[in-house]
Structure 1
Amino acid sequence: SGIDTLVLDEADRMCDMGFLPDIKRILKSLPVKKQTLFFSATMPEDIAQLTHNILKNPVIVRAESDAPAKTVSHALFPVPDGLRKKLLFSLISETPSGRMLIFTRTKYRARSLAADLGKAGHKVAEMQGNLSQNRRQAALAGFKRGKFDILVATDIAARGIDVSEITHVINYDMPDTIDAYTHRIGRTGRALQTGEAFTIMTEEDEGLVKKIERILGKPIERRRVNDFDYGNFDPEKPPVSGSGSTGPAFAARRRPAAPSRSMMFRPGRR
């Protein structure tokens, strides 16, 4: 009964980790009249519904624009899925030295990719949900200090990473939504510094790429890695609708619509 302010940070992350039922139970036990503040990097449907149900006349504050920072350059590296890892290693080899953050879609892939990079002689750490909090903190601290040049992470584990020296973000796996892409890319190009965002792209990613290009307001350059053996595949050839996966161009595929852009909430009292 003595609580007059509730602050819920990383609201979308809590939902991703399955804590929404716990949040609802906590809310039911709190006084009706209180100040409530929600902070969220993205705005998924369950968070939007939660704010609609429990808040009265909320004030919505956008912390950033829909598009990534203009100081970040974007490039796509199309490749057949079977050559994805080989292309990543070649891309890293030809990329100027700097702090690099690599995103994967799953915890298993983050772990195995970090292990392979370590065996190849790279100073690398991983950050994924199966690690203890202490190990994740140690990985991030080492990355900040320069002990590691590469950090391989999943979306959820990478929330809150703030390392100004990150020069490159590489999407080893394409994210599921435009929001997730923007959040990943936001790890570089901070405080008006320049950064580069590289995305390794396979056939199934073409639909989401088109949506990202609409947000950016221009096509994303398709590049090839020098001296990489693509076989008969041409990474710089624009995709042609209806082409098959065995040809040099990708066929566009439809993806689910992305949720609305991230917002920060400063609600009123209820």
Structure 2
Amino acid sequence: MKKPASQKTLAAFAGPLLLVGAGKMGQAMVDGWLTRGLNARKLVIVEPQPARPVKALVKRGTRLNPKSAAEAAAIVVAVKPQTAPDAVPPLAVNVGKGTLVVSIMAGRTLRFLEERLPTGTAIVRAMPNTPAAVGRGITVACANAHVNARQRKLATNLLAAIGKVEWVEDEALLDAVTALSGSGPAYVFLLAEAMAKAGIAAGLPEQLALRLARETVTGSGELLHRSHLDAATLRQNVTSPGGTTAAALSVLMAPGGFDALLTEAIAAATRRSRELAG
């Protein structure tokens, strides 16, 4: 069966593609790249503690922790942000005139990267989120002035391996992006936790409440994903005047309720993101 064109976006990539950091997010990206046609022989991975799936790629031609450095067509930096001061400067030897560097490190700015890499390096800073692990992430990216149209397209193809991609021109927006979509999965998981606890308090058996909350959250998310309607309309469609849903929403949507709490929470996360970025 012929693969969809969308899955072949990296088939013609000449490489090499250097991945620095192959934790959960890095591994998710590798899986997506290979699915989209990347030749495993074009991939170089630097990871001090490689997981079994990463080690297995060696049999397919992937180079793991090479002793000698070489220029890369693209470098994806997926290490923890606190290790960045040690991990980024050595990458200078891998940067050539046409190299694209993509960073998914939270809080590490374009300026931080520019100061530690050769002058004129094309750099994209991106903020993905954890649904990337199942190919349903959302990533927001911002490029520095040295990224050309071809490199921007390459960055999109690399990041699309883990979900949808949005671009912003103002890097300052990435703090709010981090607060909304980067931290957002935790808010959804908290919602499922709270619903289960509330169900138990209402008299449901614990395991039943847990299952009902889990399936309701995931099913509603899938409905939102597939529907052409916006979230507000979908909410209204569930709400019959004077019914049980309306009674619950009268509490959640009261002044100081769900909307206000979430606005305050995202504002707090945005402030913290700015603090971490310096």
Q: TM-score, normalised by structure 1?
A: 0.32
Q: TM-score, normalised by structure 2?
A: 0.32
Structure possessing the higher radius of gyration over alpha carbons: 2
Q: Name the structure with the higher helix share.
A: 2
